[in-house]
Amino acid sequence: MIGPSHWQQLVAAIYMLFGGSIDVYRDLIALGRSEVFQRLREMATDKGYDAVIGVRLDTSMIGTHRGKYQGSKGIEIFAYGTGVKLDNSR
């Protein structure tokens, strides 16, 4: 699970007032994706697999709340796929 700091939430709120790309959240999600792919590779290697195919990503919002200050406390990013062992006999 990843989530923005209070500072990142403040910056994002200011951007939302004026519109445009919210780089704080985009960068945070990119970091989360990178981290989840790295963990998937490590888990596959630890289990003796050479590669992971058919990788899928799934995300969900954590701790959303309503009211004057709408937003989310974080995002959960799941990655899953099929571990394969390569045949190096050729």
According to the model, what pLDDT value does residue 32 have? 87
Mean pLDDT within 69-88:
82
Annotated domain spans of the chain = 6-84
Kindly report, residue by residue over 3-17, the tens digit of the pLDDT. 666 667 677 667 667
According to the model, what pLDDT value does residue 1 have? 56
Mean pLDDT within 68-80:
73
> How many angstroms separate the CA atoms of 33 and 79, rounded?
9
Residue partners of 31: CB distance under 8 A and separation at least 6:
2
Kindly report, residue by residue over 17-52, the tens digit of the pLDDT. 776 666 777 787 888 899 999 999 999 999 999 999
Q: Beta-carbon neighbour count of residue 84 at 10 Å?
A: 13
